[in-house]
Amino acid sequence: MGSQSDWSAMESATEVLGDLGIEFEVRVSSAHRTPRETAEYVGDAESRGCGVFICGAGLAAHLAVQSPRTRRGP
């Protein structure tokens, strides 16, 4: 999510993942305001066992664009 205000759009995704027993992380990280920190977080994903990103955004979708740029894989 790019900001905490996006939580209402993403909360149901965490409920479904939890119901399915899938481990997940929730992180507020703005590809627009903090691009370096966001790129580092995405780049380190594999070392944390993360294989999939579900990106949520309000009016802009910079996070969804930033994720594939900084990580190889699906």
pLDDT at 52: 87
Which domain range does residue 34 map to?
4-70
Q: Does the pLDDT value for residue 4 go beyond 60?
A: yes
Tokens of 51: 């294989």
Task: Output the pLDDT for position 19.
Answer: 97
Q: Are 66 and 57 in contact (CB under 8 A)?
A: no
Based on the structure, what is the number of domains in the chain? 1
Q: What is the dihedral of CA 72, 68, 39, 5, to 10 degrees?
A: -140
What pLDDT, in 10s, does the model give residues 13-65? 999 999 999 999 999 888 788 889 988 998 898 899 988 888 876 666 555 55
Kindly state the helix (H) or strand (E) to which residue 19 belongs, with its residue range.
helix 7-19
